[in-house]
Amino acid sequence: MRSWLTLAVIAPLLAALPLVGNNYALRLATTVFMYSVMAQSWNFIGGLAGYPSFATAAFFGLGAYASAILQNHGVPMVPAWACAGVAALLFAAFLGGAILHLRGHYFAIASLIVAEMLREIVNTLPDFTGGGKGMNLPLLKLSVTAQAQFFFYAMLALAVLTVATAIVLQRSKLGFGLRCIQQNESAADIIGINSYAYKTAGFCLSAVFVGVAGAIYASWVNYIDPPDVFDVLISVKPMVMVLLGGLGTIFGPPLGAVVLLLLEEVVWRNFLTMHVAALGVIIVVLVLFLPHGLLALIRERFPTKAMAN
Amino acid sequence: MTALLTLDGVSRRFGGLKAVDDVSFDVNESEIVGLIGPNGSGKTTLINLITGVHPATAGHVHFDGHDITRQRPYRIARLGLARTFQIVQPFQRMTVVDKVAAGALFCGHASDVREARAIAREHLEFTGLADMAHRPAATLTLARRKRLELAKSLAMRPRLLMLDEVNAGLNPTEIEEALAIIRKIAEQGVTIIVIEHLMKVVLSISHRLVVLHHGQLIAQGTPREVVADKRVIEAYLGAKYAAGNPGVSN
């Protein structure tokens, strides 16, 4: 109940941002929502089930390309976004069948190469995907401000949907089962959990919203190419955000998304030539000194009654 | 009486080691069977074979008319076969009530998490853990963690319950309490296999004993018959003792 209330308070406040913010603020906020979707999605498989997936970039790029190809073949934008989500989901179901029997580091490495594999496939099919030259997407016939607002609301809606999914999942049988798997998969089998089916379901959930986010991103920036949408950082950042905010929690991932983006902006401005290195140092420090995330820190300072349950 | 569980020539090799070698026996409905044997005799491996953790390399296991020899563990669990773990470690970071609720949710036919927690509270009441429902499982004492394992297994509504050394490491008072709980479970009609090191415990509770040694079944029968069996004494105390003191029990 408290989670729903929090969402019901925060979402309208965020929706009011275009009334006060300029286009720069809207662009930042849209990015935060996108990050939040990616972090929340990673949390479904990485946080709840304890499977450190590096496949986020694969789902993101797949969604971006699926939507771009469909739109270039005349499919309207929003249905193309939905199809991108379905494509990511089906791909995750197929991929999960292939690699979810691996555990720990083995799973991490297997998931890491998926984005590279897709990138190579895109590169080798230039007639279909534009290859290394990338793809243009249809331009929207809207003013610059109207476009900024449109994508702001689209990404916000997706982020809210992802948080809502997380809240439902946390209380569901599936979420409960994933937490059992995270703690001890063999023991989860013994109490009757079909861990293979559960992990695959968690993996699909971690893909579908990322696929849509990739599709919205492609429409937003109008142009995609393989190094951009299959970037390994797209896989790494969600993990950092979740660790930053709080692993396995509902509002940890969005919180981590906000903090990481702010850090990125500050670091980017001040360390233009070595911002990735600076970001790396910050990540190491955070993991060493804040292992349970910011949300745990906040809860320690302000304990509530609900925590006793 | 009908056999609930049937083992037929079950074997398991680990490389060149025959951990379980051609073991056959039945467990009847509502029976308490003690599975005993010296360290390393293959007791826990045998339980792993029955529950599907390791597949048997030869032989067949039947449970309630189903061939469960190469079934996945979760399917076997859903048929009504539950076990506790010798080394109590699963789901350490969960609360006590959630750990038991997990058993009710995935095997005990609870329809949602809320109902599973309600069922879990009943089982915590039964095992005397109701006061610590919201504590992390890892903070419990060994005796209580063992009882928590019991509560979790009971929440699965098992027809056959396998207790892997639930009494190891407990003091005499705690053992008495644990035995009282096991007897109460048996009274509800649950068939039980007790794996135990402590002879006194197993003799006092079992209707029948099955003895393993080097992975082989060397004797089975009533506790009285088994403790008088020459090969059993040999396995536990050595050939010299068996020869010199026929029929002596612990």
The answer to whether residues B73 and B104 belong to one domain is: no
Query: Given CB atoms, is A22 within the 8 Å cutoff of chain B?
Result: no
**Phi, psi torsion values for B133, nearest 5 degrees:** -55, -35
Fold of A2-308: ABC transporter involved in vitamin B12 uptake, BtuC (1.10.3470)
State whether B142 and B165 are in the same domain.
no
Report the number of distinct structural domains present in chain B. 2
pLDDT of residue B166: 79
User: Residue B183: inside a domain, yes or no?
Assistant: no
Distances (CA, A) of B31 to B37, B79, B229: 19, 18, 22
From B78, B85, B113, residue closest to A171, measured CB to CB: B113
Query: Which residue on chain B is closest to A197 by alpha carbon?
Result: B74
Rounded Cα distance between A264 and A204, Å, is 29
pLDDT attached to residue B85: 78
Give the domain CATH number at B25: 3.40.50.300
- Secondary structure in 3-state letters for chain B: CCEEEEEEEEEEEECCEEEEEEEEEEEECCCEEEEECCCCCCHHHHHHHHHCCCCCCEEEEEECCEECCCCCHHHHHHHCEEECCCCCCCCCCCEHHHHHHHHHHHCCCCCCHHHHHHHHHHHHHHCCCHHHCCCEHHHCCHHHHHHHHHHHHHHCCCCEEEEECCCCCCCHHHHHHHHHHHHHHHHCCCEEEEECCCHHHHHHHCCEEEEEECCEEEEEECHHHHHCCHHHHHHHHCHHHHHHCCCCCC
B76 and B110 in a single domain? The answer is no
Task: Name the residue among A173, A187, A190 with its Cβ closest to that of B105.
Answer: A173
Answer yes or no: is pLDDT of B246 > 70.
Answer: no
Residue B186 in any domain: the answer is no
Say yes or no to pLDDT of A258 above 80: yes
Average pLDDT of every residue of chain A: 89
**% of residues, chain A, pLDDT over 70:** 98
Instruction: Please answer yes or no on whether A193 and B74 come within 8 Å at the CB atom.
Output: yes
Residue range B66-71: mean pLDDT, rounded: 90
What is the average per-residue pLDDT within B9-15? 90
Any chain B CB within 8 A of the CB of A197? no
Query: Would the CA dihedral through B45, B46, B50, B51 be positive or negative?
Result: negative
Nearest to A30 by CA among A41, A44, A18: A18
Q: pLDDT tens digit string along A135-160?
A: 999 888 888 889 999 999 999 999 99
Do residues B10 and B74 both lie within one domain? yes
Confidence of residue B193 (pLDDT cuts 50, 70, 90): very high
Band of the pLDDT at A308, cuts 50, 70, 90?
Answer: very low
Cβ-nearest to A191 among B92, B102, B112: B102
β-pair partners for B6: B26, B62
Residues B76 and B168 in one domain: yes
Higher pLDDT residue, A70 or B203? A70
**Is B101 among the domain residues?**
yes
Q: Classify residue B242: in a domain, yes or no.
A: yes
B12 and B72, same domain (yes or no): yes
Where is average pLDDT lowest: A168-172, A188-192, B99-103, B237-241? B237-241
Tokens encoding A301: 């300072």
Residues B25 and B74 in one domain: yes
Asked if B105 is an interface residue toward chain A (Cβ–Cβ < 8 A), one would say yes
Residues of A in contact with B52 (CB under 8 A): 189
- Asked if residue B165 and residue B76 are part of one domain, the reply reads yes
pLDDT at B178 over 90: no
Residue A177: list chain B partners with CB under 8 A.
102, 105-106
Model confidence band, residue B8 (pLDDT cutoffs 50, 70, 90): very high
| Average pLDDT of the segment spanning A51-71 | 95
Distances (CA, A) of A26 to A31, A212, A256, A289: 9, 19, 18, 32
pLDDT for residue B249: 44
Question: CB contact, 8 Å: B91 with chain A?
Answer: yes
- In the predicted model, is pLDDT for residue A259 greater than 60? yes
What the block records as the tokens of A59 is 């789902």
Which residues in chain B are closer than 8 Å to A195, comparing Cβ atoms?
Answer: 74
DSSP states along A107-138: HHHHHHHHHHHHHHHHHH-HHHH-GGG-EE-P
The whole-number pLDDT of residue B76 equals 92
Q: Is the pLDDT of residue A282 over 80?
A: no
Adjacent-strand bridge partners of B217: B212
Give residue limits of the domains in chain A. Answer: 2-308
| Structure-token match 């990322």, residue found | A210
Same domain? B21 vs B132? no
Nearest to B90 among A187, A194, A309 (CB): A187
User: Do A257 and A43 touch, CB atoms closer than 8 A?
Assistant: no
Worst-scoring range by mean pLDDT, A258-262, B27-31, B104-108? B104-108
Are both B74 and B165 inside the same structural domain?
yes
Q: Is the pLDDT of residue B245 over 60?
A: no
B133: in domain: yes
Q: What is the pLDDT of residues A93-111, one digit of tens each?
A: 999 989 998 988 899 999 9
pLDDT at B200 over 60: yes
Whether residue B184 is contained in a domain is answered as no
Domain-embedded: residue B182 = no
Instruction: Return the higher-pLDDT residue of B37 and B168.
Output: B37
pLDDT at B170: 82
**Confidence at residue B2, expressed as pLDDT on a 0 to 100 scale:** 75
pLDDT tens per residue across span A194-217: 999 999 999 999 999 999 999 999
pLDDT of residue B168 exceeding 80: no
Q: Give the pLDDT band (50/70/90) at residue A121.
A: very high
pLDDT range class, residue A306, cuts 50, 70, 90: very low
Task: Report if residue B136 sits inside a domain.
Answer: yes
**Average pLDDT, stretch A250-269?**
88
Structural domain of B164: 1-80+159-177+191-250
